[in-house]
Copies of this chain bind each other. A is one copy, B any other.
Amino acid sequence: MSSLNIFELERNLKSWLEEDMPFGDITSDNIFEKKHKGEGDLIAKEEGVICGIDIYRKIYELIDKDVELTSNFIDGDLIHVGQKVGTISGPMASVLKGERLGLNIMQRLSGIATMAHAYSKEIEAFKTEIVDTRKTTPGLRSLEKYAVRVGGCTNHRFSLSDAVLIKDNHIAGAGSIGNAVDMVKKSIPHTVKIEVETENLDEVLEAITAKADIIMLDNMDNEMTSKAVELIRSKSSYITIEASGNMTLDRLKDVAKTGVDIISVGALTHSVAALDISLKFKK
């Protein structure tokens, strides 16, 4: 669980368990006693990248320390159809209480990791990296960005607070790209880079002149992207170049070929298909 806020995670898991059990599990609590044990296997129903094992385990630490989740996998491993991803055993009522939340999280995070893996794999021959966006599920940003990393991509900024991204509205407000960069630079930590969104080569040139740290090429076709990369590299080897806008899997290689450093992909998190994993109880 690299680089997660463990206090936030625990608070969230408790709150999500309460969402699912505001006043207990009225089925299991009235049938099972503590002595009824149960055991089930987590089975992959689809191929993909597993993500969320430690989080699933953490759910049971919160519900009942007598439940054990064992697994030979770690987050990031590839799993295949029919493969046993792990085993959950302990008091049956407790196992059932965590089942749904655990699966909801694991399926969603594994879905993201699987997609991230596919995207990063597609251009592994290039130095270009894939990053996510702020199009994450409200309340799940940390976990979804974690899943993106697990899948082999990296993250764009975490929020509006930790990096600058100057868009057309900002430019209009400030009068010019140069003004916008200057206004921001005066007030922000020197540890943060300034990124400028550009839509054509004129704006790219302005951004270079304004000493942007990162230039985003927004919704440009591959040809304009290539020209923009050339223009930037003719002036500076330091500027990070990011391509953005409608970056589907089948376009990735062509975009990577233009020499951009970064491709940002909203689809990694905004329309997640859950990876099908189920908990199969032993009779």
Contacts and interface: CB of A to CB of B under 8 A. Distances in A.
Interface stretch (A68-76, A80-88, A127-135): A127-135
Interface in A157-178: 157-170, 172-174
A24 B170 CA distance: 16
Given A138-B140, A193-B192, A281-B168, A270 B262 contact: no
Given A154-B189, A156-B189, A190-B214, A3 B29 contact: yes
Interface stretch (A200-208, A250-258, A271-279): A271-279
A123 interface: no
Contact of A162 (B162, B166, B172): B162
A230 interface: no
Contact of A189 (B8, B137, B155, B170): B155
Contact of A242 (B96, B183, B190, B274): B190
B184 A27 contact: yes
Q: Chain A, interface size: which category?
A: 35 or more
A204 to B, nearest CB: 18
A66 interface: no
B169 A38 contact: yes
A5 B31 contact: no
Contact of A164 (B27, B107, B161, B165): B27
Contact of A157 (B31, B180, B189, B242): B189
A26 to B, nearest CB: 5
B12 A139 contact: yes
Nearest to A16: B138
Contact of A154 (B3, B27, B167, B188): B188
A249 interface: no
A134 B25 CA distance: 13
A21 B184 contact: no
A30 to B, nearest CB: 4
A92 B173 contact: yes
A117 interface: no
A23 B22 CA distance: 11
